[in-house]
Amino acid sequence: MTKKKILRISTVPMSLNLVLKGQLRMINEVYELVAVSSPGKDLEEVAQREGVRTIELPMERRISLWKDFKSLVAMIRLIRKEKPWMVHSLTPKAGLVSMMAAKLCGVPVRIHTFTGLVFPTATGLKRKILMFTDRLTCSCATLVNPEGQGVKRDLEQYHICRKPMQIIGNGNVNGIDMAYFQRTEEVMQEAEKYRKPGVTTYCFVGRIVGDKGINELVAAFDRLYKENQKIRLLLVGPFEEELDPVTPETRKKIESHPAIEAAGWQSNVRPFLAASDIFVLPSYREGFPNVLMQAGAMGLPCIATDINGSNEIILQGKNGVIIPSKSEEALYTVMRETVNEPERWDEMASNARESIGSRYDQQAFWKELKAFYASLE
């Protein structure tokens, strides 16, 4: 019996390689899965690791009318050639291009996954353009998959989507590999390189940019450090100069502060999480942040802002604390509490791994995803 064909499409190959790790191989056992994205080394890794066929199709992340039109034409040609049963897109530009092309080509099942919305934090003309493109993506899809309840709520409240919407499992796009994110002997040995005994270590993992709340985090940490030198801030991630860089003052403080360590981008974040005590994600916007699930799986209580995704993963007072976004004062206050009330945070740490595993285990998510696909046949 011939397998039904599914095109999984993202703008850049890193999304397929990192975000959907393992999932493509699993789906390919039931369907014929073809991974499509812009060219790159990540796409080669997807082909080798996942054992799926891959196709290069250039797409621009930013708005570029001519390049976007060329991508649309190329996508139409690709879909006409491949004749898939389903097109399932993951990222904004891939969603816009592939949903339009799939509708024009009459693909029976057209799904777009919204992993987060950019327009709520945008302003002016940019906001209007982003809302229009999201509406266009939804109008061309047969079904929309919001990554979490917060994303679904925004799609409804801003009248972006009137199509059927379905969250898979408890949210997220791939679940969390609990076997990988745990304190194995190997991970703990590696963590010894980064551990600093006798201090409370706060950890952040992600891009070092403004909308991740880094300016507020560094300012709050510096205030607390002036009161208590037995603390440390570990920043794991790359600086970005083009898209929303941190302020010059923040950058200077990160580079000169005696208790702030910038580790840069790391392919394996587990040792850094294992060497830390508290995880902090003071972001302005997210879809459904994997890094909070990773930190929780590694047994860290989390401080996170009251935004989509974060306020679903973190259960107030159980596996972490939710605070207002864009507030240096709120960050300072709760970070101060972690030092002054260690027993409360130790209890949240003991709850952290079970809280994540019971809701977001990857194997359970994959089972839900297969059932979701089967229901559309």
Q: 223 to each of 208, 219, 256, 330, 377, how far by Cα in Å?
A: 20, 6, 15, 12, 57
Give me the pLDDT at residue 61, please.
87
What does the alpha-carbon distance between residue 244 and residue 373 come to, in Å, rounded to a whole number? 37
Overall average pLDDT of the 249-277 stretch: 97
369 vs 23: CA distance, rounded Å: 9
Inform me whether the pLDDT recorded for 243 exceeds 90.
no
d(CA 15, CA 12): 6
What tokens were used for 146?
Answer: 């919001």
The whole-angstrom separation of Cα 234 and Cα 370 is 38
Residue 197's alpha-carbon distances to 41, 192, 194, 276, 371, in angstroms, are: 39, 10, 10, 10, 47
Average pLDDT of the residues in 239-244: 86
| The pLDDT value given to residue 120 | 79
pLDDT interval class at 241 (50, 70, 90): confident
Residue 121 clears pLDDT 80, i.e. is over it:
no
343 has a pLDDT exceeding 90:
yes
Distance CA 112, CA 73 (A): 19
Confidence check: pLDDT of 1 > 80:
no
Residue 164 has pLDDT above 80, yes or no: yes
Round to whole Å and give the CA distance between 21 and 18.
Answer: 5
pLDDT value for 59:
96
Q: Where are the alpha helices (DSSP H) in 16-159?
A: 23-28, 41-50, 65-82, 92-104, 124-140, 149-157
* Position 156, amino acid: E
pTM (two decimals): 0.90
Task: Estimate the share of the chain in helix, then strand, then coil, as percent rounded to the nearest 5.
Answer: 45, 15, 35
Query: What average pLDDT does this structure show over 243-262?
Result: 96
Q: How far is CA 67 from CA 90, 93, 108, in A?
A: 19, 11, 27
Q: Is the pLDDT of residue 303 over 80?
A: yes
Q: Locate tokens 């285990």: which residue?
A: 361
Q: Among the residues of 259-327, which ranges form H helices? A: 270-274, 290-297, 310-313
Per-residue pLDDT tens digits for 49-82: 999 999 999 999 888 889 999 999 999 999 999 9
> Residue 95 above 80 pLDDT?
yes
Q: Is 323 exposed, middle or buried (0-12, 13-18, 19+ CB in 10 A)?
A: buried
Greater pLDDT, 72 or 1: 72
Q: Band of the pLDDT at 292, cuts 50, 70, 90?
A: very high
State yes or no: pLDDT of 256 exceeds 90: yes
The three-class DSSP label of residue 303 is: strand
State the Cα–Cα distance between residues 101 and 105, nearest whole angstrom: 6
